C-alpha cells in the first residue's frame, strides 16, 4: 500500500513496542506508541487512526476496552490484538467480538507485515464507499441545507481553505467529509486533528512533527500531521481552541506551504488542503485578542456557516427518520415515532442540534416498549412541550398558493417516508423524476 497510514500501537513492553514500531515505520507508516490504556485512550480521543494494534493485557486495563472505545468512535478502523501465549483463548474471543485479527507473542514480523497490509487495504476499500456517499449522508431538505450542499459542491472543486462554522452538533465534521470526498484529493490522505483534545505538550509535535532528541522522550524522528496529509487534506477541528503561539506557526504553514519540525533545522514543503471547523464565533475571539486576525482572514477564504437545527425545523422529521433507521439496524428492530411524538420533536429548539436529536432518538428508541415511540418516551424537556399543530390538513391553511401547498405536502410526504423518495413519489402519484425535478426547483 503506497499511502502513509496512521497506526496506534499499544503495548506496555518497551522492546515489543519498539520492534513493531520500527517494522511499521520502515513500511512508511506513522506509529503513535502508547504504553498503557490511559495514553491510548488519549490518542483515540484526539485522532482517528487507520489501524490499531493493541496488547490484550495492559497495566491499567485491557485491549477489549480499547476496542470498545475505538468501535464507538471509528467503527471502520480495524483492530489487531497482540497476545501472550497464555491468553490465545481471549484473543480468539476478541476476534469474535469484532477484532480484525490477532498476533501471538513473540510477534512474527513477517506475519505482522501481512496482517497490517491486509487490514489497511480493507480500510481503504471501506472508506472509498463511505466517502462516495458523503454528500448523501448530509440529511436535510430545507433551503438552508440545500445552500450548504451547494457551497460544498462549489468549494470542493477548488483547493481553497475552508472555515466551517456552526453550533455544536450541527454536522461540521460531516460537511468536512463531504468536501474532502468530492474534491480532487478524495483518494489521498485525509488527516483529522481535534485541536482541543490534544494536550499543550503534544500539539506542536503532533501537528508539525519532531526531530530525534528535540525533547526528552523524542527517541526518534516523527512526522507530524501536516506531513502525513501531504498531497491530501487536513481537517483542523475546534480551531478556535488553538494556542496563540501555535496560530503563528499555522499561519506560516498556510502561507508558505511549508513546515518546521520541532527541533528541526530544515524547512519541509507540504501540499495540503486545509479545512478548519469551530463552534466559536472567531470574529469575537479576534476582538477579544484570543485569535489572530491575520490567521482568521487566512482561514476565512471560504466560509460555510451551518444553520442551527431550530432554524430549519422542516429537517427535524427527516433527521429523526434517518437516525431511526440507523438505530433499527443497530438494535435489529424497527420502531416509528407516533405523529404526536414527531410534532413534539418539531416544537423543540435543539440547542445541541443534530447530535442532541440523535441522542433523543436513541434514548426514546431504547425506552419504547413496542414499535411505536410515543411522546412520553421522549426526553422530558421535549415531551413537556406543547407539540406543533398537526400538519395533516395543509389544505385548510388559509392564504397559501397551490404551489406552496404542493411544496408543503411533498415535504410532509417525504418526511412520512423518512426521506425515501421512491416511496414518497409512489404515494404522491407522481414519477420519481418529477419528484426530483420539483425538489430541485424548491431548492434553487
Ligand X SMILES: Nc1ncnc2c1ncn2[C@@H]1O[C@H](COP(=O)(O)OP(=O)(O)OP(=O)(O)O)[C@@H](O)[C@H]1O
Q: Which is nearer to ligand X, 103 or 306 (CB)?
A: 306
In whole angstroms, what is the distance from residue 325 CA to residue 361 CA? 10
The Cα-based distances of 357 to 229, 279, 350, 362 in angstroms read 33, 18, 7, 8
Contact region for Mg ion (CB under 5 A) — 36-44, 70-78, 168-176, 400-408? 168-176
Least spacing, CB of residue 130 vs ligand X, in Å? 12
Number of residues lying near ligand X (CB under 6 A): 17
256 strand-pairing partners: none
- Residue 440 C-alpha from the chain's centroid: 28
SS3 call for 1: coil
- Candidate ranges 23-31, 155-163, 264-272, 350-358; the one touching ligand X (CB under 6 A): 350-358
- From Mg ion, ligand X, none, which one binds at residue 21 (CB under 5 to 8 Å depending on kind)? none
Cell of 131: 466517502
Residue 81 three-state SS: strand
Question: Is residue 196 a contact point for Mg ion (CB under 5 A)?
Answer: no
**Cβ of residue 358: shortest distance to ligand X, in angstroms?**
5
E-strand stretches of 218-280: 222-223, 233-237, 258-260, 267-269, 273-278
Q: Which does 354 bind (CB under 5 to 8 A by kind): Mg ion, ligand X, none?
A: ligand X
3-state SS, residue 338: coil
CB of 366 to ligand X, least distance (A): 17
Calpha distance 115→410 (Å, rounded): 51
**Which residue's C-beta sits nearest to ligand X?**
171
Stretch that binds ligand X, among 25-33, 340-348, 354-362, 374-382 (CB under 6 A): 354-362
Report the residue number, 285 or 426, with the smaller CB distance to ligand X.
285
Which residues inside 308-327 make contact with ligand X, applying CB under 6 A? 319, 322
Q: Is 173 in the site for Mg ion (CB under 5 A)?
A: yes
Of ligand X, Mg ion, none, which one does residue 355 interact with (CB within 5 to 8 Å by kind)? Answer: ligand X
Interacting residue with ligand X among 253, 279, 346, 364 (CB under 6 A): 279
For ligand X, the binding residue among 133, 157, 168, 371 (CB under 6 A) is 168
Based on the shown chain and the rule CB under 6 A, indicate whether residue 142 belongs to the binding site for ligand X: no
Of residues 166, 148, 189, the one with CA closest to residue 277 = 166
In angstroms, the Cα distances linking 89 to 16, 92, 227, 290 are 21, 5, 40, 53
Cis peptide before 309 (omega within 30 of 0): no
Q: Which of 170, 189, 205, 233 binds ligand X (CB under 6 A)?
A: 170
Does residue number 280 form part of the binding site for Mg ion (CB under 5 A)? no
Q: Which residues pair with 222 in a beta bridge?
A: 210
With binding defined as CB under 6 A, does residue 185 bind ligand X? Answer: no
User: Is 174 a residue that touches ligand X (CB under 6 A)?
Assistant: yes
Please tell me whether residue 172 binds ligand X under the rule CB under 6 A.
yes
What is residue 207's three-state secondary structure? helix
Q: Count CA atoms within 13 Å of residue 149 on its CB side.
A: 16
Comparing CB distances to Mg ion, the nearer of 189 and 279 is: 279
Q: Which residue has the cell 438494535?
A: 331
Number of C-alpha atoms within 13 angstroms, CB side, residue 155?
25
What are the residues binding Mg ion (CB under 5 A)? 172-173
Amino acid at each position: 500500500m503506497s499511502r502513509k497510514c496512521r497506526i496506534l500501537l499499544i503495548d506496555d513492553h518497551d522492546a515489543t513496542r519498539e520492534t513493531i514500531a520500527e517494522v511499521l515505520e520502515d513500511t512508511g507508516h506513522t506509529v503513535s506508541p502508547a504504553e498503557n490504556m490511559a495514553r491510548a485512550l488519549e490518542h483515540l480521543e484526539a485522532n482517528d487512526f487507520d489501524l490499531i494494534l493493541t496488547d490484550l493485557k495492559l497495566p491499567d486495563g485491557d485491549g477489549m476496552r480499547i476496542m470498545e472505545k475505538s468501535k464507538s468512535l471509528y467503527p471502520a478502523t480495524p483492530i489487531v490484538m497482540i497476545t501472550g501465549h497464555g491468553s490465545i483463548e481471549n484473543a480468539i474471543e476478541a476476534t469474535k467480538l469484532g477484532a480484525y485479527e490477532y498476533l501471538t507473542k513473540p510477534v512474527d514480523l513477517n506475519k505482522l507485515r501481512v496482517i497490517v497490509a491486509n487490514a489497511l487495504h480493507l480500510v481503504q476499500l471501506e472508506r472509498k464507499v463511505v466517502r462516495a456517499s458523503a454528500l448523501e449522508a448530509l440529511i436535510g431538505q430545507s433551503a438552508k441545507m440545500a445552500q450548504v450542499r451547494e457551497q460544498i459542491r462549489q468549494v470542493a472543486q477548488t483547493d481553497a481553505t475552508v472555515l466551517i462554522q456552526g453550533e455544536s452538533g450541527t454536522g461540521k465534521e460531516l460537511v468536512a467529509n463531504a468536501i474532502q470526498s468530492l474534491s480532487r484529493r478524495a483518494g489521498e490522505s485525509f488527516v483529522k486533528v481535534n485541536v482541543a483534545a490534544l494536550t499543550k505538550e503534544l500539539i506542536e509535535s503532533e501537528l508539525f512533527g519532531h526531530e530525534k532528541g528535540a525533547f526528552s522522550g523524542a527517541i526518534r524522528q516523527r512526522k507530524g500531521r501536516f506531513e502525513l496529509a501531504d498531497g491530501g487534506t487536513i481537517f483542523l477541528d475546534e480551531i478556535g481552541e488553538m494556542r496563540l503561539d501555535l496560530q503563528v506557526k499555522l499561519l506560516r504553514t498556510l502561507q508558505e506551504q511549508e513546515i518546521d519540525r520541532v527541533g528541526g533545522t530544515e524547512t519541509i514543503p507540504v501540499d495540503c488542503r486545509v479545512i478548519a471547523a469551530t463552534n466559536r464565533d472567531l470574529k469575537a475571539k479576534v476582538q477579544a485578542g484570543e485569535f489572530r486576525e491575520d490567521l482568521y482572514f487566512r482561514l476565512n477564504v471560504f466560509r460555510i456557516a451551518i444553520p442551527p437545527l431550530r432554524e430549519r425545523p422542516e429537517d427535524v422529521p427527516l433527521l429523526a427518520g434517518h437516525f431511526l433507521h440507523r438505530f433499527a439496524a443497530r438494535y435489529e428492530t424497527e420502531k416509528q415515532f407516533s405523529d404526536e411524538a414527531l410534532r413534539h420533536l418539531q416544537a423543540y429548539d435543539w440547542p445541541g442540534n443534530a447530535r442532541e436529536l440523535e441522542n433523543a432518538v436513541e434514548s426514546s428508541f431504547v425506552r419504547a416498549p413496542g414499535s411505536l415511540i410515543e411522546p412520553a418516551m421522549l426526553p422530558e424537556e421535549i415531551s413537556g412541550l406543547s407539540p406543533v399543530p398537526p400538519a395533516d390538513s395543509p389544505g385548510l391553511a388559509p392564504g397559501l398558493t397551490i404551489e406552496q401547498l404542493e411544496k408543503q405536502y411533498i415535504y410532509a410526504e417525504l418526511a412520512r417516508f423518512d426521506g425515501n423518495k421512491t416511496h414518497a413519489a409512489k404515494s404522491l402519484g407522481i414519477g420519481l423524476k418529477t419528484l426530483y425535478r420539483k425538489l430541485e426547483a424548491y431548492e434553487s
